[in-house]
Structure 1
Amino acid sequence: MIGKLSAVVLDCPDPTALAGFYAELVGGTVKVEDESWVELHREGGQQISFQLAPALRAPRWPDPEHPQQFHLDVAVERAELDAAQDRVIALGATLLEGDNDGERNWRVFADPAGHPFCLCAC
């Protein structure tokens, strides 16, 4: 092993707003360094950082001309999946792809800056 993963960094046009979205989604404490760098600190040392990118070319699902670049999977109890979907949409997420009427155990969303993430039933 060469090193230890310290953070996942998302480029976005509004770091403070996107950090707030993910704080509601997965918990944690938002720390604003300045307008170009915001961190979300989570229990256990997990960190998501948000970096200002005013000209971000958001990914589109599924479109190879605008690839997803990466995505996060967020585990949710199966019985809570519908409620979790309602909450992330209320926070500004967009449903990109459903679970095919329960045939799959995940649903694909875009965060307010366009990054894809999945709510996965566990």
Structure 2
Amino acid sequence: MVVAKLGAVVVDCPDPLALATFYGELLGATPVVDDETWVDLAGYEGTPLAFQLAPGHVPPRWPSPEGSQQFHLDLTVEDLDAAEERILALGATPLDTGDKSRTWRVYADPAGHPVCLCAG
């Protein structure tokens, strides 16, 4: 029995418009500002993604048993090297990118959430 349908993934962060702009650039989406506390992404395929103001937001520490990663997004890309160049230019920080033989690499978005680029 299905109880619910996923409506959206909402990411808590200190600056919703800045983080929505970061992900918008990666996904080919447009930030739509509801108010200073909420921004949706529009104009792309996939699960709806929104960003919510979280005063006092504490970024996760990855990997760390004392600081849960809270969640992470897997983004499928055609070219890992090209996607890595773009995500870094947009302000991501490498977390686990050294093994270039793997089909995935881990970064932190500008608010500190882990995000993986996955070959697809």
TM-score (norm 1): 0.91
Aligned mates of 2:48, 2:42 — CA distance in 1: 5
Look up the SS of the partner of 1:24 in the other structure: helix
Is the 8 Å Cα contact of residues 61 and 68 (structure 1) preserved in structure 2? Answer: yes
Q: Say if 1:45 and 1:54 are closer, same or farther in 2 by CA, change over 3 A.
A: same
How big is the shift at 1:48?
Answer: 0.6
> Matched residues in 1 for 2:103 and 2:82: separation?
15
- Maintained 8 Å contact 1:7/1:49: yes
Distance in 2 of aligned mates of 1:43 and 1:20: 13
**Which residue in the other structure is 1:29 paired with?**
30
Cα offsets for 1:56-94 (capped at 9, x unmatched): 1111110111111111111112xx211111110110100
Matched, 1:113 2:111: yes
CA contact (8 A) 1:99 1:105 kept: no
> Is the contact made by 2:27 and 2:44 (CA closer than 8 Å) also made in structure 1?
no
2:68 alignment counterpart: 67
Q: Which amino acid aligns with 2:31?
A: V
Distance 1:51 1:85, change over 3 A: same
Match of 2:4 in 1: 3
1:64 maps to a residue whose letter is: P
1:91-106 equivalences under 5 Å are: 91-102=90-101, 104-106=102-104
Question: Percent identity between the aligned chains?
Answer: 60
Residues of 2 paired with 1:45 and 1:89: CA distance? 22
| Deviation sequence 1:37-65 (CA, Å, 0-9, x none) | 11112445631110101211111110111
Unpaired runs of 5+ in structure 1?
none
- Counterparts of 1:27 and 1:5 in 2: how far apart (Å)? 21
Matching of residues 21-60 of structure 1 within 5 Å: 21-44=22-45, 46-60=47-61
Write the distance in 2 (CA, Å) between the matches of 1:99 and 1:121.
Answer: 15
Runs of 4 or more, structure 1, over 4 Å off, are none
* More helix as a share of residues: 1
